[in-house]
Structure formats: structure tokens, C-alpha cells
Amino acid sequence: MTDQRAVIIGAGLAGAQCAIGLREGGWTGPVTLVGAEPHRPYDRPPLSKGVLSGEIEGTEFELDWERLDVELLLGRTATGLAPGELATDAGPVGYDHLVIATGAAAVTLPGAVRALRTVDDSRAIRAELRPGLRLVLVGAGWIGAETATAAKALGCEVTVLEAAAAPLAGALPAELTAPMVRWYAEAGVDLRLGARVAAVEPGAVRLADGTELAADLVVVGIGARPDTRWLAGSGLELDRTGAVLADDRLRTSLPGVWAAGDCVSYPSARSGERITVQHWDHALRSGRAVAAGLLGADQPYDPVPYFWSEQFGRMVQYVGRHRDGDELLWRGSPDQPAWTALWLREGALSAVLTVGSPRDFAQGRRLVEHGTLIDPALAADPAVPLKTAVGAVAAG
């Protein structure tokens, strides 16, 4: 390729995949990966699962960065951006092409709380978990549920506080989260819905209704925001959440500057709107897509979003993107260990949620990706393989 220098900021999954993609695609110029954390690139999903429960120690990607000829500048934080030059806390770094992959930072609360975003966060929380510890988790989202699972297995007394009326209220409709409320109860986790935190005080959490809960440890899992404050004043366009505004090739508003992973907002033709996705699969694919773009490919980036979560002994997987007005179809009963929910839009599957059902998931994913028309009666019957629940194309 060229001998131009590609600099990637953020040594997480998206940044690492971009660097690998550049080398695998034949990029001959220097490739530099700049990361604020002192660690070599590692995987985050195990941080709220195996690392927290103590089953896994490290999650570093098994890659030989020297052999790949990728320069790692670790423990180095980008502080600003000007044409051709990245400012960092250890001096400027020149670039010909720049990739912003600085991910997201956990939203937190004032007071003595911990968040769970990095391997250091995970190890620090793990070090405190012990039988009888009174753990208060703020937020019944994906990370809250996974943290509750690990802490419970280690013998902690776990209370989860959720301001909304249901867990995962922003992600899933109430019909689907009602069975999940039971998962908390069955695991012996005290889930309190409509519980708004007023203050975290030493040894206690005070709720807006005056309730006080004793807490030895408070962990906050209330979402993450694009980690892009360092771009203020650079002229790069951000949306109101701080996500980098990119086009459908993941190019930003500044020439030669691209973005990938949790920090990017891009127009999805498939979804009919601009989206920001904070999940593993997107970080991997978008990092690769930017590498391909830098190498000259000219393809829009628009995969079907996918994520998974492991909570209370269940594997939960979701693919697609449902929206208000889509028809919700049950396949199996939520009283059973395995069940599936389907969303239909104009006769085709728009999204699939599976609990403990990898076969439905694999088949549903293909149907969503291909926009296949579905026969709702067949699809609702768990005895019929999902892949055969195909509907007829309307005549005319």
C-alpha cells in the first residue's frame, strides 16, 4: 500500500481490530496504536463475568504486536487534535490517517462508588467481593445483571436498585423483562424497581423516598457515554451524547479522520436512522471496516447489530433492531428455561431475542440478515425449526 502513517487512538477492541485489519490487508506504512490504559489490548465482556467471578485472570488478546509491526503507545492519553497532529500527554504524534476508537466511559454517581469498565475496575471489585458483603448495584441493565450473578455466586448479599419500572427498560419491552424480574428473585437478588438513588453516603445508599440501605460496596452500572471529551475544540463534529458523527463509511467530518466502535454514530440504512452501538460485535466489525476503508474499499458499513449477555445462568442473545410498532411474537413460554421472542415488521423479522436457545438464535440471525418473510403461525410454534417458518411472498 502506501507508506503513510496510520495512528489509531484507543487500544480497545475496535482499535486493535483496525490495526490487525490494516496489516492483514497489506498496509505497509507505520501503524501506531495509542491507548490511555497501561495494558495491552484486551477483551471487556469477561470483565463482568469470568474475571469478576475469579474464573479468569486476564483477557488480553493473544497477539504478537511486534510481529504485526504495530507500535503500541500505552499509558498515553490523547488530549487534542489538529490537522496532521495528535496531541498527547507525552507529546505530539504526527499522522497521515487517524482513527478515533476511544470507546465509552462509564457514567457514574458522586460518592464512594465503583464503575465497571476496565480490567482494573473488575479486579478492584473482585478483590472486595466476599461472602456476606452487602453489595448495592445501581442499574438493572446488562452489566448490573451480570455483576449481580457473579457477586451472588461469591456469596454476597446483593441489592439492585433500578429507577425505571423494569430492568433493561430502555432496551426491551415490559412483556419481555417481566420474566427477567423473576430471574433476580430466583437467584436471591433483591431487585428494587422504581428506586431512585438520592445520595451515596459512607456505608449507605439513600433513596429518593427516604429509604436507607446499608452498603459495604456500591457499584454503578447506569450506562456509558462516548469517551470523546478530549476532542473538544478540534472542529470534529459530535452529536449531543458526544458520539463522533461519521458517514456510512465511518469517515468523520475532518479529512483523513475515521471513527469506530462505541464512540461512533453512523447512518444505518437498514435501521432508517443514525445509530450508536455499544456492543462487542460492532466494535470488531467497525474496526475492521475502517481498516478496509483506509485500504481503499468503498462499502457502506451497516451490519445487523448483535449482542449477548450471560446472566443468572442464562445466555441471552439479541440480533437486529426492533422499534415501536413492530409486532411481538412469542416462541415458547418464558416459564421454560429456553424461549425466544421475535419482532415482525411488514412480514419480515426485524429482531430476535433468545434465552438459552442457540439454534433459534443462529437461524433467526440469518432470517433477520436476509430480511426473509415469515409465517407468524409457524414461527410461533417452537416445534417448527425457525428457519423453515418462512412466509409466502405476496403476489402482484
Ligand X SMILES: Cc1cc2nc3c(=O)[nH]c(=O)nc-3n(C[C@H](O)[C@H](O)[C@H](O)COP(=O)(O)OP(=O)(O)OC[C@H]3O[C@@H](n4cnc5c(N)ncnc54)[C@H](O)[C@@H]3O)c2cc1C
Tell me the helices (H) and strands (E) count for the chain, helix number first: 9, 26
Binding mask 212-231 for ligand X (x = CB under 6 A): ---------------x--x-
Q: Which of residues 28-47 bind ligand X (CB under 6 A)?
A: 34-37, 44-45, 47
- Sheet with 204-207: strands ordered across: 197-201, 204-207, 212-214
- Give the residue from 306, 284, 298 showing the smallest Cα distance to 354: 306
Q: For residue 36, what is the DSSP state?
A: S
Q: Which of residues 182-211 bind ligand X (CB under 6 A)?
A: none
Among 65, 157, 242, 262, binds ligand X (CB under 6 A): 262
Binding mask 114-153 for ligand X (x = CB under 6 A): --xx-------------------------x----------
Among 78, 236, 257, 389, binds ligand X (CB under 6 A): 78
| 325 membership: H or E segment, kind and range | none
**What is the Cα–Cα distance from 25 to 288, expressed in whole angstroms?**
10
103 binds ligand X (CB under 6 A): yes
Among 48, 265, 311, 350, binds ligand X (CB under 6 A): 48
Strand ranges for 45-182 from DSSP E: 70-74, 78-82, 85-88, 93-94, 97-100, 104-106, 114-115, 134-138, 157-162
15 binds ligand X (CB under 6 A): yes
Least Å from the CB of residue 282 to ligand X: 7
Question: In a 3-state reduction of DSSP, which class is residue 122?
Answer: helix
Q: Which of residues 297-336 bind ligand X (CB under 6 A)?
A: 307-309
Strands 97-100 and 6-9: parallel
Nearer Cβ to ligand X (36/215): 36
Question: In a 3-state reduction of DSSP, which class is residue 263?
Answer: helix
Among 7, 8, 9, 168, binds ligand X (CB under 6 A): 9
Among 177, 252, 278, 354, binds ligand X (CB under 6 A): 278
**What is the Cα–Cα distance from 329 to 191, expressed in whole angstroms?**
27
Q: Total residues contacting ligand X (rule CB under 6 A)?
A: 36
Dihedral sign of CA atoms 169, 171, 174, 176 in order: negative
Q: Which residues bind ligand X (CB under 6 A)?
A: 9-15, 34-37, 44-45, 47-48, 77-78, 101-104, 116-117, 143, 227, 230, 261-262, 278-281, 283, 307-309
